Amino acid sequence: AAQLAAGLTTAHSGAARLAGGASTLAGGLVRLRDGATQLSPGLSTSAVPGAAQLAAGLTTAHTGAAALAGGAKQVDTGAQQLAAGSAQLDDGLKSAGSKVPALLAGLTQVDAGLAKIDAGLAQLQGSDGLAKMTAGIGAKTTPGTLLYGIDQLRTQIAAAVVGLTNLQGAAGQATALAGNGDSLRTAATDVTTAAADASISPATHDALVAVATTLGTRAAQLDGAATYLAGVNGGLTLLKSKIDPAANVALLTMGCGLSSVSYVGLCDPAKPGLLEGLHSAIAAIGSPAATEADQKGLTLRGGVNLARGGVGQLSAGGKTLVDGLGQLSSGASALRTGAGQLVGGTGQLVAGSTQLSGGTALLETGAGSLASGLRTATAGSTTLTEGLATAASGAPALADGAAQLSSGTSLLATGAGSLASGLRTAAAGSTTLADGLTTAADGAPALVDGAALLSAQGTSVLVSNGKATAADYGVKYAVIAASAQRAADEGMAYGAPAGAAGATAYSIEIAGVDGAGVGNVGRGFASIALFGIGSVVATLARRRFA
């Protein structure tokens, strides 16, 4: 009971705070009503269309995320190709850098070779070269030159042809004069016949035989001379045919080949001779930089000079190339490293874009659910607005009820004090009841007296102060009262049959004198108070969210 009193005092303090909170709640409900009034149009005019736009945008985002995933895969493939290419570039630049010194050494050798070529061209062009060849060809009127010698041959061949013609005539005449040996052989036969005459002396005979022999020999010699002269005549004819016109044509061709202007009218000016070619070669060799053609590299020595200048520039550029290749190699190495990192990043990009695509799909679904939920929230906000209006209108009544509750808890605290006093009296009566029940074995009358005493001093106080909350104890009291009345009326628990003797055995359980009963009663009253406060709060909550 003391705890009940203290609890009710605390409950009274809480009820007072509840009254103040009810006033604050009333103001809050009014503000909630106004906010809900603004929330409902905002949901219907902004949030729901915005959610629909969000869903459409997420659909587009999902499509874009899928395209991003595909593009990320292509980027990843390109990054791998870039990594492979940068590795090749790095290796190639390192290889090129290692070969540049050899290139510079080769350029030095090329410059030396070009210098030798220029010296050779100068020598070829000089007095011991092409110029000497030009002078050697010379002209028809310059003795000691090829053209002069060819022209002299042509003149001599022409004279030789005349001489051969004369020789042919002389050979013909000699052949005609020689005739043949037949007449000498005939004369030799006649002499031999004369020598056979017996009338001649032996000396004459021998002389005639010698003459005949000599005539025979001369005849044979004449035959040989005629044959030889015929051969000579044929040889002269053949030689003349070989010299004229073949030798003349050959010499003319040689002269035109040496110079196309050597025999004007006979040589073809469109076919330059060796002399003209030498002049062109000398002009083509030129000089290092004497003329505009030399400076433009249109001559051999001019081109060599320009080439040597280019080699010098290449050599200077080669040194710059070494530095540039070093920088390029460093850059290529960095590119190679960066490409490797890019491959890792694109791999993460592929994975992330795939996750993004999946996430946008979920967002798309969630946006649809959000739009549906916002439509439901719009409908609910209308209901909330109406409920808050109702709650706001009931807020004054809540404040009044909280004030009444505070007053009631004050009365409850006062009654709890009285209840505590009565329960102490009931505890004393229960002690007396315990003493009486100890001797209850002697008979029911003592039980009746104890029950009457308990009824008068204990349960009457309980009923007056906590009848509604101690119904269980009222039932117990009724049972005890009925038992006492039956003991007075019947003297037996159940009664004996008519005409028979009966004996009754009693089993009585009595609560110990430990204050538990009083504590249970106090807790009962506290429960009633808490149930009352809970009912008020539940009523307010139903009004707020109805």
For the chain, give the percent of residues with pLDDT over 90.
1
Position with higher pLDDT, 136 vs 402: 136
pLDDT for 447: 46
Model confidence at 236: pLDDT above 60: yes
Cβ 208 vs Cβ 190: under 8 Å: no
Q: Label residues 129-144 b or e (16+ Cβ within 10 Å = b).
A: bbeebbeebbbbeeee
Model confidence at 53: pLDDT above 60: yes
Does the predicted model carry a pTM greater than 0.85? no
Burial (0-12, 13-18, 19+ Cβ within 10 Å), 97: middle
Tokens of 232: 């000579």
Model confidence at 171: pLDDT above 80: no
- What mean pLDDT is predicted for residues 328-357? 77
Tokens of 303: 């081109």
Q: Where are the beta strands (DSSP E) in 275-409?
A: none
Torsion sign (Cα): 448, 452, 458, 462:
positive
Model confidence at 215: pLDDT above 50: yes
Using CA atoms, how far residue 444 sits from 9, 490, 492, in Å, is 44, 10, 9
Q: pLDDT tens digits, residue range 461-500?
A: 555 655 555 456 555 666 666 666 665 665 555 555 566 5
Residues 228, 230, 234, 236: what is their CA dihedral angle, to the nearest 10 degrees? Answer: 70
Q: pLDDT tens digits, residue range 90-149?
A: 787 777 767 777 777 887 888 888 888 888 877 777 777 888 888 888 888 899 898 899
Q: What share of the chain is helix, strand, coil (3-state, %, to 5)?
A: 85, 0, 15
Residue 438 — very low, low, confident or very high, per pLDDT cuts 50/70/90?
low
Packing angle of the helix pair 274-285, 48-125 (nearest 10 deg): 120
What mean pLDDT value characterizes the chain?
Answer: 73
pLDDT for 479: 62
Q: How many CA atoms lie within 13 A of 145 on its CB side?
A: 20
pLDDT for 4: 64
32 SS3 class: helix
pLDDT for 210: 92
Cβ 459 vs Cβ 488: under 8 Å: no
Residue 529 — very low, low, confident or very high, per pLDDT cuts 50/70/90?
low
pLDDT for 420: 64
**Would you say how long the chain is, in residues?**
546
The structure tokens 């108070």 sit at 529
- What mean pLDDT is predicted for residues 301-325? 77
Highest mean pLDDT among 134-148, 169-183, 530-544: 134-148
Position with higher pLDDT, 395 vs 139: 139
What would the DSSP string read from start to end of 327-338? HHHHHHHHHHHH
Model confidence at 339: pLDDT above 70: yes
Model confidence at 430: pLDDT above 80: no
pLDDT for 164: 74
Please, what is the end-to-end C-alpha distance for the chain in angstroms?
39
The structure tokens 């009486």 sit at 436
CA-based nearest residue to 388, from 42, 41, 27: 27
The structure tokens 């790095």 sit at 90
Position with higher pLDDT, 217 vs 342: 217
Cβ 244 vs Cβ 157: under 8 Å: yes
Residue 87 — very low, low, confident or very high, per pLDDT cuts 50/70/90?
confident
